Structure 1
């Protein structure tokens, strides 16, 4: 076992080969920390390995393999003596109405967005509790709070991850948790190999059709800058009072604010009926 210099934090980042995970890994490496970069195709990290040979450790990982997830966490601690930050960044776009989405498609998405991150987090917590410190950064989405036709399965996985993480923030006081909720950023999530589209049914052309078209044609038009997102995450983590949820992008902020307003209005409208369900004294 080797132990890093005390001023270097050890990060384990899944999805480090592209998108937000890649941008965050690059920023962390520039700051001098150690990154265990996990992805299915580690050759996509060759350029970073060449630039930071003493800081970047590429690791092959498919996060849907939960047994391997736990092993990667333990191997990281064994090699470096600690794990300071776990970033669950692996993910993909999925579009399909419920009737269009097969059971296998939905189960895979939950394995990728929920069960994988849950397994990695569960494996990291004992090490972080023993250290008395640590961070878990969960990449959710504006879809973790705001839904859209065709994103039902995707949003369900993000809602689940957010519910788990909010509970963990109350269960494990030694560890800090950050839920990142990006809007539309110029990553590869809408790319040919990243976005997954369930087979369409004509009955959903009017509701899901626009979402499907946006995902197929919207790549490269998103307003968000992944580099600025990575820096915003690091700024939030270094704050004296870090948030539990960090919403990134004006589009995401506007949509979540709209949702909260609708919830407030609906709660007020039906509050009397809801309260009038107690047992009569």
Structure 2
């Protein structure tokens, strides 16, 4: 008999968060869905499902995050799975974005994720179980023109999750970082994507071309968000979940092409790479 889990999903009002919420409820589990606004709208769309608790919460507000987690525990008694989904894209050349634009992207994508992790782990440590799933991106595995700053937030999520998985493993807790490719959601429209106000003409052939491309492919991406949502349900029910889960053929290809290029660089520079130890260390080895 299936043991009912309680999920805590951030950014549940649209996109991945909404589809994952639907899939989890359909699987028979409970969901605490956090939204920045429109709480009533989400509740109504699920016919006020008794297995769903919708909480208004901004991931960048530590007090709100703490209160939301307390509400989840009060309502359902536990949190088994956390999905850190809340975030947004920043399309900009590295030189074009202001400090404030970059800091705000980090505030939501990185520090918001950390706020949730810090709030839920005391409860998971106490129950000696749980699974934290952080959403990264294809841009967190390999850089793209115009996406370097956003991608850097996702590179951070990759590294944080790797370390977290090692730290919580002895406590019976798992951590997984999921890197989706290009999925057919609202990510490339104005509701989820922010472009830097500054545009530098010298980058017209690179970042400018990416801006044009992003506008053309919006809602034409290859990934199916319904299938992604089912993948999350499968992941949460795995006996030994992985630390890394790339989703989409494009993500897999991006990772493999990057590692192949990395290996070529290593082969070409092997003497320099291996020649930087102290002589006594090299002699001992």
Which bin holds the TM-score, normalised by the shorter protein? over 0.9
Change (3 A) 1:9 1:236: closer
SS of the residue corresponding to residue 144 of structure 2 reads coil
Unmatched tracts of structure 1, length 5 or more? 1-5
How many residue pairs match? The answer is: 275
Work out which of the residue numbers 31, 34, 37 in structure 1 matches 2:33: 37
Q: TM-score, normalised by structure 2?
A: 0.92
Deviation for aligned residue 1:223: 0.9
- Deviation at residue 193 of structure 1 after TM alignment: 2.2
CA–CA distance in structure 2, aligned partners of residues 56 and 66 of structure 1? 22
Indicate if the aligned counterparts of 2:131 and 2:173 stay in contact, CA closer than 8 A.
Answer: yes
Q: CA deviation at 1:78?
A: 2.7
Q: Summarize deviations over 1:13-43 as a string: whole Å, max 9, x none.
A: 0011111111110001111211111011224
Does residue 1:214 correspond to 2:210, yes or no? no
CA RMSD of aligned residues (A): 1.5
- Corresponding residue number in structure 2 for 1:46: 43
Pick from 5, 8, 12: which aligns with 1:9?
A: 5
Greater Cα shift, 255-264 or 233-242? 233-242
Q: SS at 1:277's partner residue?
A: coil
Are the aligned partners of 1:49 and 1:57 in contact in 2 as well (CA < 8 Å)? no
Aligned to 1:278, the other structure's residue is in SS state: coil
Residues in 2 aligned to 1:217 and 1:44: alpha-carbon distance in whole angstroms: 30
Give me the whole-angstrom Cα distance separating, in 1, the residues matched to 2:109 and 2:33. 18
| 1:69 equivalenced with 2:65 (yes/no) | yes
Structure 1: distance between partners of 2:52 and 2:85: 17
Match among 17, 24, 31 for residue 20 of structure 2: 24
Which SS does the other structure have where 1:205 is aligned? helix
Q: How far is 1:252 from its partner?
A: 1.1
Residue 239 (structure 1) aligns with = 238
* Among candidates 183, 186, 194, match of residue 184 of structure 2: 186
Deviation, 1:79, is 2.7
Q: Which runs of 5+ in 2 are unaligned?
A: 281-285
> Matched residues in 2 for 1:270 and 1:68: separation?
50
Residue number in structure 2 paired with 1:151: 147
What whole-Å deviation, never above 9, does each CA across 1:30-71 have from its counterpart, x for those lacking one? 112111110112244134431x52011111111121232222
For residues 186 and 21 of structure 2, the distance between their equivalents in structure 1, rounded to whole angstroms, comes to: 16
Match of 2:196 among 173, 198, 213: 198
Distance 1:168 1:253 in 2: 23
Indicate conservation of the 8 Å contact 1:66/1:115, yes or no.
no
Aligned equivalents of 2:242, 2:220: Cα separation in 1: 29
Query: Secondary structure of the equivalent of 2:178?
Result: strand
Return the match for 1:165 from 161, 165, 188. Answer: 161
Aligned partner of residue 108 in structure 2, secondary structure: helix
- 1:207 and 1:75 map into 2 onto residues whose CA distance is 47
Q: State the 1:208 CA deviation.
A: 0.4
**Conserved? CA contact 2:91–2:195, under 8 Å:** yes
* Cα deviation code 1:108-144 (max 9, x no counterpart): 1001110011110111111111111101011110111
> For 1:156-195, what per-residue CA distance to the aligned partner results, in whole angstroms no more than 9, with x for missing partners?
1001111011000001112111111111101111122221
| Structure 1 residue 239 displacement after superposition | 2.8
TM-score (norm 1): 0.93
Please give the per-residue CA displacement for 1:195-216, whole angstroms capped at 9, x wherever unaligned. Answer: 1111211111111012111222
